[in-house]
Structure 1
Amino acid sequence: MTTITDDTTAAPLVLADSLDLTAAAPLAAELLAARGKPATLDASGVQRMGAQCLQVLLAARALWSSDGLPWRVVDPSPEFADAAALMGCPDLALATAVQD
């Protein structure tokens, strides 16, 4: 995965193709390591997403929002968008955590 930087032109964090139970802890660790900087997550390659990774992403979105920093998902794959919608979070694929 790519690291998140505070440069708005920096490459986004590229999410794994399989966001399953085994991906949840590494995803959480990587996101926590990036705290304090704007976050852009590239979901274009996601083929499946489980509830644990959805919870990690929702917690990260809330954390970035409480910090007042941008957090967004870009280029969500149809599978990412469908999984988020099926689990009750259709807005995750359109997520930004900063209110201007």
Structure 2
Amino acid sequence: MAGKKSTQGTLQLNAVLDLNEASVLRGKLMELRGSALAIDASAVERVGVQCVQVLMAGIKTWEADGKAITFAKASDAFAKTLQLIGVNIDHLLPKEIRQ
């Protein structure tokens, strides 16, 4: 009898996460809901507060669903912007890229 295989989705964030990207990002997150998720923010050059809000809501949704969510990679621009606006995702980053 085989156990249920856990799946993990991956989400590659765009270089520019502005107001226009916020609803697109929300849609992408909702498509991946229900499985563990690794977010790759390594290509992010600019991130607006609206997309940060969408990401934080996604994190809360994954946590409420009991599913793992992590940031597999994060660019300096992404990490510094989150730090500047007071959002701490250190607990969601791999140890090797934590500041």
Instruction: For 2:24, give the aligned amino acid.
Output: P
- Structure 1 residue 49, shift from structure 2 partner: 0.4
Superimposed CA distance per residue, residues 41-60 of structure 1 (whole angstroms, 9 cap, x where no aligned partner): 00000001000000000000
More strand by share: 2
Amino acid at match of 1:54: V
CA distance in 1, matches of 2:91, 2:74: 8
Query: How do 1:51-62 and structure 2 match up within 5 A?
Result: 51-62=49-60
Q: Percent identical across equivalent pairs?
A: 34
Deviation, structure 1 residue 75 = 1.4
1:36-84 deviation digits (Å, cap 9, x = unpaired):
0111100000001000000000000000000010001121000000010
Distance 1:95 1:84 in 2: 13
Q: How is 1:1-100 mapped onto 2 (pairs within 5 angstroms)?
A: 7-8=7-8, 12-89=10-87, 91-92=88-89, 94-95=91-92
Question: Structure 1: where are the runs of 5+ without partners?
Answer: 1-5
The structure having more radius of gyration, on CA atoms, is 2
Superposition CA RMSD, Å: 1.6
1:15–1:94 CA distance, 2 compared to 1 (3 A) = farther
Structure 2 portions without partners, runs of 5+: 1-5, 94-99
Runs of at least 4 residues off by over 3 Å: none
Query: Normalised by the size of structure 1, how large is the TM-score?
Result: 0.81
| Number of residue pairs matched by the alignment | 88
Q: In 2, Cα distance between the equivalents of 1:93 and 1:51?
A: 18
